[in-house]
Chain A
């Protein structure tokens, strides 16, 4: 009973299960969906299997997110240390400015220098992913009350010790909210990468749109949506644990 209640309180488990089941069985399921579409529509996507598409999509967003998170945290740390405080305003404004730039425009601008495929997509993902992490990191670090910092300094923490033991644990819940936003946006944005030739769950969507095949569009869309929701819910669980621990 208790186990059932525990599972019921964690939607990530059943949304995740649905995502996994659909990914593995889409090719078997697709031939039975003919009644949804105009007669003659090809139902089974043939360029790559869905497990392959999911793996490529996960690899692309995962790698880009890792880079984005690393850069974002580094920028937030820099902007809140004595040496970088002078640049904090510039970074804030740069973040706001970059966010107004549409992802498609970034892709279009990246192609001439980086070529087609995964590379320009990864570049755009990193660019977009850095900003929420940097913003949340700065907000989190600035949220640590001044008396706490004064007491930490007065107690004799080294700057690194203060950062590691006091500032980062207290900033963690806010920082992690930014990481969650960044990763979730990345999963959605990666689909656009298929317009410049990256293999992602966006491939069936783009191919479906250009080839007039609504079955491909539906399959890709459902899986991308489930993927994003699963990851978002999983990160929400981590965030909840962090908030509980950071009190």
Chain B
């Protein structure tokens, strides 16, 4: 859906993006991760032509974006930035209605869409639609920012650290609803984050950037199991990389469901829980094994400490 082909961008002597080739298939989520200054935001801003590439080309749905009028391209792509940038003189409803209005949707359709999106991001329209941005908390503003980016039914969503200003529990809620939205609408998402846990939680693939170069792509489990270089390993926690690996794998990947299940004490853990959670329970409960229940069929199983450290 969105494809970078040997894309480069320099700012004076700084090579912000250096021959990046990356393919994000339709309906998937790609998390751009990397240390600060590694070129993540620049790559995102090249995709909606807020910046023009010096070399290489970017294809959206097979079309070179250099051949598309920037304004039309941007209306097809939702854009969320960390500093949100809500329009301070407009109500929440009008902010969310921005792109549908630019696209010339009929008023009734815009109204319905705004209400739907505000509900989706957990800000009921009745109590929030007519507020102004300065009457919202930082987290609420970020949610409005996400709703605004989604309003025009974009095929592609570009998100630059969209949940930075939200407290951790709310952030997890927003990450879950973003994943739901993505599954339901099939939107292709390119998301910048420096939070490893967030990237794992949102699923999809990692693209690891360092000094403008793309070091590695792959699922969280792949990248964490086989970091391609020293820099990648360092970014994912250095000596603590193993702990991040536990976050990227779930109980069902390692548990033994072959009958007959041995008798194990304790409440069963869900097969969808992360291995990190399983380890935490083992530590807290002082056991080296946990009973497991697989969710649709209720199949019982067992997870041992040895399963966690299996390569």
* Chain B, Cβ-Cβ closest to A165: B87
Q: Which residues of A contact B85 (CB under 8 A)?
A: 145, 147-152
**Given known contacts A147-B84, A161-B102, A247-B89, A155 and B132 CB-to-CB distance under 8 angstroms:** no
- Is A247's CB under 8 angstroms from B71's CB? no
Q: Is B89's CB under 8 angstroms from A169's CB?
A: yes
Interface flag for B57 (CB, 8 Å): no
| A154 close to B89 (CB less than 8 A) | no
Q: Which residues of A contact B73 (CB under 8 A)?
A: 156
Cβ-neighbour of A151 out of B75, B84, B89 (below 8 A) = B84
Inter-chain CA distance A90–B171, complex, in Å, is: 48
- B293 within 8 A of partner (CB): no
B81 within 8 A of A: yes
> Please, what's the 1-or-0 string for B97-120, where 1 marks a CB less than 8 Å from any CB in chain A?
011001000000000000000000
The A-contacting residues of B in range 123-167, CB under 8 angstroms, are: 132, 134, 145, 148, 158
Residues of A within 8 A of B50 (CB): 150, 153-154
Which residues on the A side are within 8 Å of B84 (C-beta)? 147, 151
Which of the listed residues A147, A151, A166 has the most CB atoms from chain B within 10 Å of its own CB?
A: A151
Q: How far is the CB of A138 from chain B (nearest CB, A)?
A: 19
Chain B residues with CB under 8 Å of A150's CB are: 50, 81, 85
Is B48 an interface residue, CB under 8 A from the partner?
Answer: yes
Please judge, given known A-B contacts A150-B50, A151-B79, A151-B81, whether A156 and B74 are in contact too, CB under 8 Å.
yes
**B81 near A155 (CB under 8 angstroms)?**
no
Q: Given A147-B83, A150-B81, does the pair A155, B89 have CB atoms closer than 8 Å?
A: no
Rounded to whole angstroms, the CA-CA distance of A155 and B297 in the bound complex is 45
Whether a CB of chain A sits under 8 angstroms from the CB of B88 is yes
A interface residues, Cβ below 8 angstroms from B: 145, 147-158, 161, 166, 169-170, 245-247
- B residues contacting A by CB (< 8 A) are 48, 50, 71-75, 79, 81, 83-89, 98-99, 102, 132, 134, 145, 148, 158
Counting from the closest, the 7 A-B pairs by CB-CB distance are A151-B85, A154-B79, A147-B85, A156-B75, A156-B74, A147-B83, A148-B85
A–B Cβ pairs within 8 angstroms, 14 of them:
A150-B85, A151-B84, A151-B86, A151-B145, A152-B85, A153-B74, A155-B74, A155-B79, A156-B99, A156-B102, A170-B88, A247-B89, A247-B132, A247-B134
